[in-house]
């Protein structure tokens, strides 16, 4: 119906309805312009505050960090003495008395080398020592014999001197007899010229005077013989003394040779001892690196030994050690035992940074320089030594040192 009414309306009778025209308004009204100090001042203030905060933190960070009562680091590990046990002498491995990772006590045999050669060397050196002792004993007996010869020569000198004294006394007696018989002979000869004595008496006096002269000659000859014997005895005594001096010098040489033989024996005994490799202390061993029948040379590593004594080495930054001192208490957390706390104490602080002990220390005097915070090793001992013996070197640790300031 509505459609029919609409169709019945003619264009002439239809008049359009015009809406009132409204003025066009701008979509956005222009805001009033702000001053320039408001546009740039606030960002600059924010930037200045940020720079001040960064500067303050950067300048005081080291003092803040070093002034903390608790100094914590996770650059820490359980440490222990790991000693590679090596051979000192060459030989063939006879027995390996331990298994891998076995616990051992001090003195326990670990590796035994074949020692037949070294036992033979010890026997040979012992025989050399005995021979040197026998040579010294023989020299002493020769010295005793030579001393007897010296004593005999000295006795011959004394005897020759006694002979000289006796000969001199006999010469004096013979000279006195001549001095008595010569005037008597002259007197008898004078009396014979006057026939005041008998020829028999004269002959008797002459015989006595000539006998005294013969006795004087004999005594003089005995004196010369005694002097010759004295000279010979003195020469013999000097020769025997020189022989004794030679034996004395030989004894010194033989004693020195004995000392050398004793030293050689000690060396062979030491080498024999090196055929046994024993545990230097209580601990445990690593993996075996030799087997029976293997030929080893000096310096061959046979096994590693780990001592029972353990400690913690914490590598603190240099900025953390401002107040850390020996004796400070420490708390130790080991990754192997989560949630468990161990107590310890600082016992040593390294005298230099870790970089100074490196194989190739850095040389900051060459090339470009970039400052790197250094780390100083700090040695922390466990309060409970029994717990320390159960730990293994290399375990990761979080160490906290409580300073006393």
Same fold, 69-114+282-402 and 117-273: no
DSSP bridge pairs for 348: 379
CA angle 325, 329, 334 (to 5 degrees): 115
The Cα–Cα gap between 216 and 209 comes to 11
Which fold does the domain 117-273 belong to in CATH? Helix Hairpins (1.10.287)
**Helix, coil or strand: residue 71:** strand
Res 32 pLDDT > 70: no
Res 318 pLDDT > 50: yes
Residue bearing the bigger pLDDT, 2 or 390 = 390
Whether 332 and 341 have beta carbons less than 8 Å apart is answered as yes
Res 255 pLDDT > 80: yes
For 81-90, 173-182, 284-293, 311-320, which range has the lowest pLDDT when averaged over its residues? Answer: 173-182
Other C-beta atoms closer than 10 Å to the C-beta of 400 total 18
Q: What is the mean pLDDT of the chain?
A: 82
Percent of the chain with pLDDT over 90: 44
Indicate the domain borders of the chain: 69-114+282-402, 117-273
Whole-number pLDDT of residue 1: 36
Whether 108 and 244 have beta carbons less than 8 Å apart is answered as no
Which fold does the domain 69-114+282-402 belong to in CATH? Elongation Factor Tu (Ef-tu); domain 3 (2.40.30)
The Cα–Cα gap between 75 and 62 comes to 19
């Amino acid at each position: 119906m509505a459609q029919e009414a609409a169709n019945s309306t003619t264009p002439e009778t239809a008049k359009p309805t015009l809406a009132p025209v409204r003025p066009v308004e701008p979509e956005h009204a222009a805001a009033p312009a702000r001053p320039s100090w408001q546009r740039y001042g606030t960002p600059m203030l924010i930037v200045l505050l940020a720079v001040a905060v960064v500067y303050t933190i950067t300048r005081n960070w080291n003092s803040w960090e070093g002034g903390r009562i608790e100094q914590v680091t996770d650059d820490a590990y359980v440490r222990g003495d790991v000693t590679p046990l090596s051979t000192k002498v060459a030989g063939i491995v006879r027995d390996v008395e331990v298994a891998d990772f076995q616990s051992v006590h001090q003195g326990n045999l670990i590796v035994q080398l074949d020692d037949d050669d070294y036992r033979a060397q010890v026997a040979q050196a012992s025989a050399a020592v005995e021979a040197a002792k026998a040579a010294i004993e023989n020299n002493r007996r020769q010295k005793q014999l030579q001393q007897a010869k010296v004593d005999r020569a000295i006795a011959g000198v004394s005897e020759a001197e006694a002979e000289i004294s006796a000969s001199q006394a006999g010469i004096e007696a013979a000279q006195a007899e001549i001095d008595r018989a010569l005037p008597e002979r002259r007197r008898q000869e004078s009396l014979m010229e006057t026939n005041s004595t008998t020829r028999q008496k004269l002959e008797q006096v002459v015989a006595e005077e000539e006998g005294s002269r013969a006795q004087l000659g004999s005594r003089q000859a005995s004196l010369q013989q005694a002097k010759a014997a004295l000279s010979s005895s003195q020469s013999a005594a000097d020769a025997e003394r020189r022989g004794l001096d030679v034996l004395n010098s030989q004894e010194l040489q033989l004693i020195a040779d004995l000392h050398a033989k004793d030293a050689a024996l000690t060396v062979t005994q030491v080498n024999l001892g090196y055929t046994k490799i024993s545990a230097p202390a209580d601990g445990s061993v690593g993996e075996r690196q030799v087997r029976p029948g293997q030929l080893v040379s000096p310096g061959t590593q046979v096994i590693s030994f780990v001592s029972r004594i353990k400690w913690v080495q914490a590598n603190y930054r240099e900025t953390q050690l401002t107040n850390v001192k020996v004796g400070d208490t420490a708390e130790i957390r080991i990754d192997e035992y989560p949630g468990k706390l161990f107590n310890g104490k600082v016992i040593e602080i390294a005298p230099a940074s870790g970089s100074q002990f490196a194989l190739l220390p850095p040389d900051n005097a060459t090339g470009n320089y970039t400052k790197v915070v250094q780390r100083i090793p700090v040695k922390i001992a466990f309060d409970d030594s029994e717990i320390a013996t159960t730990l293994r070197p290399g375990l990761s640790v979080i160490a906290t040192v409580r300073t006393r300031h």
